[in-house]
């Protein structure tokens, strides 16, 4: 009270609010005016930020926390009253006629899309020091995830615009960062000229952390190192909805004719294989919400898409997070819990957190909720009395919980694709990956890279090329399939149809080969490759690659993840390439060319 005169009018209101909410401990230790006055003001600057970045303000945050903490203490199950069942959705088969026509519909719609990448997480499980989007998607070309995402969006933009004849639409790309990732993300973009995207197309939205909670009364925790600061932690990827809403971006997108918002995560190098067809599903089915899913192995660390029917008749199709699916099933008459069925997979499709929302209904919903997403709390109690926490906790939220507030009339669907085609995240460090139960995916840097080569090899096989079977090798304690290291730029093979139009004749690639296709108009026609071949070309060049290419190629050398003489990016994948011999050709002149060694 003696310090009140130091504060602005708004700050005095915040102080009153805190006292009303039982937060007097935050300043009861404050000394007389004249001591630490600047720190006291900066304390309230932080309170102001925490207040304005949370829908409904800090008072709502504290009230929500009190309720959720009481529920958690009482052992209340958030799914009480709900019975789970297996939902039905679109199941796509790569390369069939339906898939091709959905891809075509998706490319057409892409000009009405906006993309949102949630990249505020540090990736603690991976244990990598930098930001995850800067990691190489694969080390044959070394292109990082962010570059691949941007090139894929630009390829979609170009292909979609071409269908219109002349069109100058720029697909917006928003990236949600946090204090942990913001500066590094901006630096990565700026130092690479936005990987070819116009700087104005990229929008950075930084999420704020939320206040930590010290006890069951939701008393906010002070930073252990600074008594004039509230301790904060990340609130989760669900923040993306309130940020998109409060920034005004959604209204801006609507006014420029956007129709779809596509959300995705930081490290899925296969994702854009699935985007055109999934967007095609949204457009043809008229889905307000479309979640991308893959077959899920029981206990795999991805949520299960589940139909929930309440005792009162309400139903919803929603992600049940991986740590909650097992208890929910056990509590509702499934004694085996989260188990595989006769197919060898969980009957609940795995949510890969790629969401496609129809913008119009999305904005209408956010006008009501302001982007607030159903939250949860996960305190680690000191003992079974649940009276104290081991360390402070906070409320969290997930972007895939958006449909929870939707009315039953909303069209909520999902699209299941093959894992090999659509999902290969990089989340686990080598030690944890090596401990994954046999048959479950590693989700490591090793498996993430190998999955790219596998997918590209299978796509080329489906397009008629002969691609040798993989070798089985162990890196960082993980047994993986090593397919030929085939990669291409997104503009070369955006859709399966594009690939089929560019692969002809009786082409073949041996297991030990490396093939990099970097250019739009490169046709593989009767190539027989046993070694390493890199083809670069400018757009104006039309290149036919044919004949036998044979050289010593690149060898793969295992790297121990504990070998600190190697770069961290290399150590986490457990191998590196030695470029012994290769054929690299660069077509820089317009016109027809033929590579026929
Ligand atoms: N993220 C943020 N802010 C945060 C926390 C995370 O932007 O505060 C971002 C991450 O950078 C990442 C994405 O959110 O891009 C997802 O984070 P994680 O990879 O840590 O997510 P989880 O593995 O915990 O799980 C999520 C979903 C699961 C499943 C899985 C699939 O919650 O249901 O879909 O991704 O990869």
C-beta 116 within 6 A of ligand 1: no
Query: What ligand 1 atom has the least distance to the C-alpha of 399?
Result: 32
Alpha-carbon span 424 to 207, nearest angstrom: 26
Q: How confident is the model at residue 88 (pLDDT cuts 50, 70, 90)?
A: confident
Reported as a single tens digit per residue, the pLDDT across 533-543 is 999 999 999 99
Across the range 547-567, mean pLDDT stands at: 96
Nearest CA to ligand 1 atom 13: 265
C-beta 234 within 6 A of ligand 1: yes
Reported as a single tens digit per residue, the pLDDT across 16-32 is 999 999 999 999 889 99
Query: What ligand 1 atom has the least distance to the C-alpha of 398?
Result: 32
C-beta 491 within 6 A of ligand 1: no
Q: How confident is the model at residue 596 (pLDDT cuts 50, 70, 90)?
A: confident
Across the range 88-107, mean pLDDT stands at: 97
Query: What ligand 1 atom has the least distance to the C-alpha of 266?
Result: 15
Mutate to test the pocket of ligand 1, among 135, 265, 376, 401 (most ligand atoms within 8 A of CB): 265
Q: How confident is the model at residue 447 (pLDDT cuts 50, 70, 90)?
A: very high
Number of helices (H), then strands (E), belonging to the chain: the values are: 16, 31
505 pLDDT higher than 90: no
Q: What single string gives the DSSP state of each residue in 286-300?
A: T-SEEEEEEEE-TT-
Taking residue 322's Cβ as centre, other Cβ atoms within 10 Å add up to 18
Alpha-carbon span 208 to 45, nearest angstrom: 14
State residue 265's pLDDT score.
97
477 pLDDT higher than 90: yes
Phi and psi at 536, nearest 5°, equal -115, 140
State residue 504's pLDDT score.
92
Across the range 358-378, mean pLDDT stands at: 94
Across the range 560-572, mean pLDDT stands at: 95
Across the range 55-75, mean pLDDT stands at: 94
2 pLDDT higher than 80: no
Percent of the chain with pLDDT over 70: 100
Distance 251 CA to ligand 1 centre (A): 26
Is the CB of residue 222 less than 8 Å from the CB of residue 23? no
Alpha-carbon span 147 to 587, nearest angstrom: 22
Query: What ligand 1 atom has the least distance to the C-alpha of 322?
Result: 33
Distance 366 CA to ligand 1 centre (A): 21
Alpha-carbon span 525 to 463, nearest angstrom: 12
Alpha-carbon span 172 to 166, nearest angstrom: 18
Nearest CA to ligand 1 atom 33: 303
Nearest CA to ligand 1 atom 30: 302
> Mean pLDDT over all residues of the chain?
95
Strands (E), 241-387: 260-265, 289-296, 304-310, 315-320, 346-358, 375-377
Across the range 266-273, mean pLDDT stands at: 98
* β-strand pairing of 471-475 with 478-482: antiparallel
Distance 175 CA to ligand 1 centre (A): 14
Number of residues that this document lists for the chain: 597
Q: How confident is the model at residue 191 (pLDDT cuts 50, 70, 90)?
A: very high
Query: What ligand 1 atom has the least distance to the C-alpha of 176?
Result: 7
C-beta 321 within 6 A of ligand 1: yes
| Exposed / middle / buried, residue 166 (Cβ in 10 Å: 0-12, 13-18, 19+) | exposed
Mutate to test the pocket of ligand 1, among 353, 417, 442 (most ligand atoms within 8 A of CB): 353
Which helix (H) or strand (E) covers residue 413, if one does? strand 412-416
414 pLDDT higher than 80: yes
Alpha-carbon span 284 to 174, nearest angstrom: 25
Across the range 87-95, mean pLDDT stands at: 94
525 pLDDT higher than 80: yes
| Exposed / middle / buried, residue 411 (Cβ in 10 Å: 0-12, 13-18, 19+) | middle
C-beta 133 within 6 A of ligand 1: no
Q: Say whether the ipTM exceeds 0.90.
A: yes
1 pLDDT higher than 80: no
Alpha-carbon span 155 to 135, nearest angstrom: 21
State residue 388's pLDDT score.
95
Taking alpha carbons only, the member of 17, 55, 45 closest to residue 230 is 45
Alpha-carbon span 29 to 11, nearest angstrom: 18
CA–chain centroid gap for 305, Å, is 17
Which helix (H) or strand (E) covers residue 283, if one does? helix 271-285
Q: How confident is the model at residue 122 (pLDDT cuts 50, 70, 90)?
A: confident
Q: How confident is the model at residue 127 (pLDDT cuts 50, 70, 90)?
A: confident
DSSP single-letter state for residue 563: -
Reported as a single tens digit per residue, the pLDDT across 139-168 is 999 999 999 999 999 999 999 999 888 678
Taking residue 397's Cβ as centre, other Cβ atoms within 10 Å add up to 22
pTM: 0.95
State residue 7's pLDDT score.
84
Q: How confident is the model at residue 301 (pLDDT cuts 50, 70, 90)?
A: confident
The torsion of the CA quartet 291, 297, 298, 302, rounded to 10 degrees, works out to: -40
Q: How confident is the model at residue 323 (pLDDT cuts 50, 70, 90)?
A: confident
């Amino acid at each position: 009270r003696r310090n009140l005169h130091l504060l602005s009018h708004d700050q005095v209101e915040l102080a009153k609010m805190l006292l009303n909410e039982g937060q007097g401990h935050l300043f009861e230790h404050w000394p007389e005016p004249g001591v630490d006055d600047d720190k006291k003001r900066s304390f309230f600057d932080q309170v102001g930020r925490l207040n304005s970045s949370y829908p409904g303000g800090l008072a709502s945050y504290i009230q929500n926390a009190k309720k959720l903490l009481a529920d958690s203490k009482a052992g209340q199950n958030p799914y009480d009253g709900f019975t789970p069942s297996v939902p039905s959705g679109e199941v796509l088969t790569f390369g069939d006629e339906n898939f091709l026509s959905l891809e075509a519909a998706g490319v057409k719609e892409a000009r009405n899309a906006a993309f949102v990448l949630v990249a505020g997480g540090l990736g603690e499980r991976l244990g990598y020091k930098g930001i995850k989007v800067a990691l190489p998607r694969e080390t044959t070309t070394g292109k990082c995830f962010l570059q691949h995402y941007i090139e894929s969006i630009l390829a979609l933009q170009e292909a979609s615009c071409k269908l219109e004849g002349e069109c100058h639409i720029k697909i917006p790309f928003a990236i949600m960062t946090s204090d942990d990732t913001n500066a590094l993300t901006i630096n990565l973009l700026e130092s690479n000229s936005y990987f070819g995207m116009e700087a104005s197309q990229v929008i950075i939205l930084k999420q704020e952390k939320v206040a930590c909670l010290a006890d069951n009364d939701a008393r906010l925790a002070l930073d252990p190192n600074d008594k004039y600061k509230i301790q904060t932690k990340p609130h989760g990827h669900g923040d993306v909805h309130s940020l998109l809403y409060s920034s005004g971006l959604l209204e801006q997108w609507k006014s420029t004719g956007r129709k779809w918002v596509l959300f995705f995560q930081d490290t899925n190098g296969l994702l854009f294989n699935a985007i055109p067809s999934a967007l095609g599903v949204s457009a043809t089915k008229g889905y307000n919400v479309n979640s991308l899913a893959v077959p899920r192995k029981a206990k795999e660390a991805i949520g299960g898409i589940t139909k929930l029917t309440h005792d009162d008749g309400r139903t919803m199709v929603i992600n049940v997070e991986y740590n909650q699916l097992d208890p929910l099933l056990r509590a509702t008459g499934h004694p085996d819990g989260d188990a595989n069925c006769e197919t060898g997979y969980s009957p609940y499709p795995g949510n890969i957190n790629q969401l496609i929302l129809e913008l119009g209904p999305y904005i209408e919903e956010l006008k009501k909720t302001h982007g607030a997403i159903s939250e949860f709390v996960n305190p680690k109690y000191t003992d079974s009395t649940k009276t104290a926490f081991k360390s402070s906790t906070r409320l969290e939220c997930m972007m895939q919980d958006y449909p929870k507030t939707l009315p039953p009339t909303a069209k909520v669907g999902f699209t299941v694709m093959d894992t090999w085609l659509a999902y290969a995240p990089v989340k686990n460090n080598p030690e944890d990956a090596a401990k994954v139960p046999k048959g479950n995916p590693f989700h490591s840097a090793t498996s993430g890279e190998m999955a790219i080569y596998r997918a590209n090899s299978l796509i080329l096989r489906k397009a008629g090329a002969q691609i040798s079977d993989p070798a089985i090798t162990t890196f960082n304690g993980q047994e993986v399939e090593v397919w030929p290291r085939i990669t291409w730029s997104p503009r070369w093979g955006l859709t399966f149809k594009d690939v089929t139009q560019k692969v002809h004749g009786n082409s073949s690639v041996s297991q030990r080969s490396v093939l990099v296709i970097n250019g739009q108009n490169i046709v593989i026609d009767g190539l027989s490759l046993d070694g390493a071949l890199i083809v670069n070309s400018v757009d104006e060049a039309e290149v036919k690659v044919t004949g036998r290419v044979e050289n010593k190629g690149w060898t793969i050398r295992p790297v121990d993840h504990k070998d600190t003489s190697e770069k961290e990016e290399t150590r986490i994948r457990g191998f590196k390439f030695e470029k012994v011999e290769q054929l690299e050709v660069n077509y820089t002149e317009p016109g027809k060319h033929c590579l026929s060694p």
